[in-house]
């Protein structure tokens, strides 16, 4: 029932440890112990302590995981950079409009309110693509 949820944590932990992780291409158990476990009741520690597993095997698995993670990170960077635009550069004296943050709960439709305020004149150029306007 609802009061015995803590008794189910072992099943949840087993499921998480033995589910293929897309980011690393292996299961967490495989990376940590060098193998995945077929059944939840299988005692993961009895095999680990009774069988010696060459550390080279685990090192090979972990190197493979590192390559997989680096490849995944590169794909994420390419996907992010595809939609990245360089910020527009303004000069002192340029006229600009500023997009408003519309926060209204007064029953007004936001789509009928003006989107921009201004125009404002750039009076100072600050670091990190920031400007002072008046």
pTM of the model: 0.51
d(C-alpha 8, C-alpha 15), whole Å = 11
| pLDDT tens-digit series, residues 72-118 | 999 999 999 999 999 999 999 999 999 988 776 677 777 788 889 99
**pLDDT value at 53 more than 60:** no
Higher pLDDT among residues 56 and 128, named by residue:
128
d(C-alpha 80, C-alpha 48), whole Å = 41
Q: Please say whether the beta carbons of 98 and 120 come within 8 A.
A: yes
**pLDDT value at 10 more than 70:** yes
pLDDT attached to residue 22? 84
Residue 113 CA to chain centroid, in angstroms? Answer: 35
């Amino acid at each position: 029932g609802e009061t015995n949820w803590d008794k189910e944590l072992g099943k949840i932990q087993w499921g998480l440890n033995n589910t293929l992780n897309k980011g690393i291409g292996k299961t967490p158990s495989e990376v940590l112990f060098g193998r995945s476990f077929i059944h939840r009741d299988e005692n993961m520690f009895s095999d680990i302590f009774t069988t010696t597993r060459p550390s080279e095997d685990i090192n090979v698995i972990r190197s493979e995981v590192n390559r997989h993670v680096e490849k995944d990170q590169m794909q994420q960077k390419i996907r992010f950079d595809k939609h990245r635009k360089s910020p527009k550069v303004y000069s002192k004296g340029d006229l600009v409009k500023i997009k408003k943050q519309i926060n209204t709960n007064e029953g007004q439709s936001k789509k009928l309110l003006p989107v921009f305020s201004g125009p404002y004149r750039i009076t100072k150029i600050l670091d990190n693509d920031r400007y002072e306007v008046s």
